[in-house]
Structure 1
């Protein structure tokens, strides 16, 4: 059966409830992240909802920090993993970044690093623990940032 995957930027209350429910299920319930660490910077973030055949299935966000633009909270519900939703989510978030986004980074769980590497992210620094899960900081090289901006702005 053909899967219809869509990722869109969301801001209305109903769609944000889907985003938060997905994150709760993946991070708090499945990965045992402390809930108090999961719900921060919500008002200053730009949120995304991924759907499969119209059903809410994934979430993510980006926000501007004092270092640059940080991509965060990539979460795909277990039953929708492996259909290309993660790739669609990362691509949509990158294309949504503002023109002044020259430094783009994320904190990648070890299992997700190969996905981010496909977009040009490179490991930077030592492995660290965040919310009880091992991560590496990954940075998108400026050439890759520019290519996403060209895609959007042409």
Structure 2
């Protein structure tokens, strides 16, 4: 099982719909996020990603530029493919792309996955907050983690 990460723009004829289906399954169906909150105005200006195992898309995420830096978001792995290191792979591959830009890299992590992001070099900043009815924490990537 060797994963492949594909990067694409919102207007890609096939990949955008695949990413949308994965996010719908994870966020709207599984986590009960209202659909109108899942698909926002930033969709068309974000860089999107899919993780494939062979010909099967199993995970997705996106990144976008903000006034604070580069925000990583919408990380979703289909349930049948969790626990196989694909989330780790996806985060690390996206970091390889964005870190050379020298911008602050951050994300809003759901409370239950802050430990996952901490292992990958992110650190919690500030207090817990609610987003889409789910508790989150702001986490920034620490460039020199582990050194």
**Structure 2 length-normalised TM:** 0.91
- Root-mean-square deviation (CA), in Å? 1.6
* 1:4 alignment counterpart: 2
Q: What 5-or-longer segments of structure 1 have no aligned partner?
A: 148-154
Report the alpha carbon displacement of residue 4 of structure 1 after superposing the two structures with TM.
2.4
Cα deviation 1:55-114 (Å, max 9, x = unaligned):
111000110001111000000000110111101110111112163342111000122212
Question: Which has the larger displacement, 95-104 or 84-93?
Answer: 95-104
* 1:16 alignment counterpart: 16
CA distance 1:98–1:113, change in 2 (3 Å): closer
> 1:101 & 1:22 partners in 2: Cα distance?
30
Question: Matches of residues 5-154 of structure 1 in structure 2 within 5 Å?
Answer: 5-11=3-9, 12-40=12-40, 41-97=42-98, 99-143=100-144
Q: Which secondary structure does the structure 1 equivalent of 2:43 belong to? A: coil
The answer to whether the Cα contact below 8 Å between 1:61 and 1:72 also exists between their aligned partners in 2 is yes
Q: Which secondary structure does the structure 1 equivalent of 2:22 belong to? A: helix
The answer to whether the Cα contact below 8 Å between 1:4 and 1:54 also exists between their aligned partners in 2 is no
Aligned length in residues: 143
> 1:91 & 1:116 partners in 2: Cα distance?
10
> 1:142 & 1:30 partners in 2: Cα distance?
33
Q: What 5-or-longer segments of structure 2 have no aligned partner?
A: none
